[in-house]
Structure 1
Amino acid sequence: MSEKFHDELKALREEFIEYGQFSGDMLKDAFRALKDGDTALADSVLGRKKHLANLSDHFDERLLTLIALYQPMAKDLRVIACTLKMNDALFRIGRYGKDIAMLVPEFAEAGHLGRMLNLPYMAEMVFSMVDDALRAYEQGDTAPIATFSERDSCVDDLRYSVFREGVTYMMEDPKNIERCMDYVMVARYLERCGDHCCTMAEKIHYMVTGKRIEIR
């Protein structure tokens, strides 16, 4: 029974990585669509939201079934607990991609202000955190997430930078108000995705080491 359990858990983790990449790609594609004014790509992201929900439910059921059937202990239980928590975080990251995609038609028509108030740099940092969280989970290695505290602080600083610059644009011309408010909203979405990455990193660290940490 132990061998069967570990085979099932290994297969589940491999599939879970694909799910994580699917979620991350929703966020990445949504932002690229926003940056480029690509409404077709935005529609593609919106069309994935149902599959995202189905995948999340699927992994919840499989993980809970493993607990019920095999009653795992020690590290095996930590792996399952970590995966359950990551499932929730990845679902939310994908949903934020959907939320960003909904803004694309408006920007495709109106265009962008300058460099999008530093949002591209902020987005790339968050994307790297998603990728590194998945890498750490897949490899059972805390090295990819070792700098998450510093990176999360940088993401937070960038969010406030976007807000301050947005206010400047709005004061210069009231016509910029709607676009700048949307930029601030996107910055908030990205900041929350960074927070979810930190949550995943905390759970991965516990999964690997058996020790709890808090990433601020």
Structure 2
Amino acid sequence: MPQQKLPQLTPIDSRIRIPQHYQRQPLISRLVSRYGVTVNITAAILTATDNHGWFDLQLQGNSEHICNGLLYLQNLGVDLMQLSIPGNVQHNLSFKPFPNPSKEFVPLPIQEQTQPYQGYSSQSYRLRLQICILKDYYQTPIISDLVSCYGVTVNIIGASLLANQENDGWFDLDIWGKPQQLFSSFNYLKTLNLPMWVDESSLHGHLI
């Protein structure tokens, strides 16, 4: 009996621009949990004062799953500024270059307390932290691994990750899940030996 051929894994690079009203939604996390796509963020600019958040994503997975995930983003009104498939680059008509931040990213303290949106269940808890993405980790899908391996929901609430990979980057994260999921996620991040600052007010005794 011939062996069944697995679907081909097709890497796709995509540049997306997320409008401000969706910046508190875990859109990238959903690409992983709903569509089974491995997402590596290779560049990102997201601040509370910007009208749009920018992300360069490297998507890996079944071609159909990737297309469904990108269609989901488009249906929400997220702009797909650029798609790059091996041997072919496509831009949409509203293409704009990736922004060059004029000032250095501001680390913790993280912004004011926010309430979970209604998609989170009453049994979910939040771990809020800031993590430094060392330039040697730019090719590691850290956010994707958190979602796929530990079942948490990760919302990126701030980001500064330059595409040139010459400097370290930062993510401000809200991680939602059950206490054991948060504990496992936290331990995973510690094993990476990346500089990390935790908002202790978000722990509420669940990790200690």
TM-score of the superposition, structure 1-length normalised? 0.26
TM-score, normalised to structure 2, is: 0.26
Which structure has the highest helix share of the two? Answer: 1
Query: Is the radius of gyration larger for structure 1 or structure 2?
Result: 1
* Higher share in strand: 2
